[in-house]
């Protein structure tokens, strides 16, 4: 007797895998996904990295994005807040060229300024974060502490309202 004629059908008892979010193929799509992810973070953050300037003037908005094309900058004193907010993500730091798990109790001091956070079910599965400095109302460039920008000029908002590190600060990074 066939399934159709008996009225029986097979039931797959395995739980369905959670659908993977759509892949962000453009810089703007990736920026919007990051913005949605960090919407409830409650601490200052801004996009930076190779394509961040293109989000401001929209030259890179529809460009294909690489895994390192956007970086999220946060202030160093909020590093543990980020870890709490992204509970369930794996955090790593690079020490002497080797990627190591970041111990939960460890406070990252200089020279460490870059975090990698990963979660396989999120797309992209890896996000890069940079730890920034500020003092007395100024953002301080970590590579040259003589370079500074007032905090009220540090962030530019894209047409979607996403915070992007302003061009003078990005220029400091490129120099």
Name the residue ranges covered by the structural domains of the chain: 23-174
Q: What is the pLDDT of residue 19?
A: 43
C-alpha angle with apex 75: 63 to 133, nearest 5 degrees?
Answer: 105
Q: What is the pLDDT of residue 11?
A: 44
Between the CA of residue 44 and those of 23, 50, 106, 157, what are the distances in Å?
Answer: 25, 20, 21, 13
**Residue 162 in tokens:** 């996403």
**Residue 148 in tokens:** 């500074």
The helix (run of H) or strand (run of E) holding residue 32 is helix 27-37
Q: How far apart are CA 165 and CA 40, in angstroms?
A: 19
Let me know if domain 23-174 sits in CATH 3.10.180.10.
no
pLDDT by 10s per residue, the chain, length 175: 554 555 554 444 444 444 444 445 778 888 899 999 999 999 999 998 777 777 776 665 555 555 556 899 999 999 999 999 999 999 999 888 888 999 988 999 888 889 999 998 887 788 999 999 999 999 998 888 888 899 999 998 988 899 999 866 665 554 3
Q: How far apart are CA 35 and CA 31, in angstroms?
A: 6
């Amino acid at each position: 007797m066939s399934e159709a004629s008996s009225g029986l059908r097979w039931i797959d008892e395995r739980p369905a895998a959670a659908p993977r979010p759509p892949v962000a193929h453009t810089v703007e799509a990736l920026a919007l996904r990051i913005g949605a992810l960090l919407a409830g973070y409650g601490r200052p953050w801004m996009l930076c990295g190779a394509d961040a300037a293109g989000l401001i003037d929209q030259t890179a908005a529809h460009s294909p994005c690489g895994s390192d094309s956007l970086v999220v900058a946060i202030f160093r004193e909020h590093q543990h807040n980020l870890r709490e907010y992204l509970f369930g993500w794996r955090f790593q730091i690079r020490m002497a060229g080797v990627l190591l798990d970041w111990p939960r109790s460890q406070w990252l001091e200089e020279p460490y300024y870059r975090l990698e956070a990963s979660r396989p079910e999120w797309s992209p599965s890896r996000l890069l974060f940079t730890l920034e400095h500020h003092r007395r109302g100024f953002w301080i460039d970590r590579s040259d502490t003589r370079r500074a920008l007032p905090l009220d000029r540090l962030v530019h908002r894209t047409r979607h309202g996403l915070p992007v590190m302003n061009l003078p600060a990005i220029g400091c990074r490129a120099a």
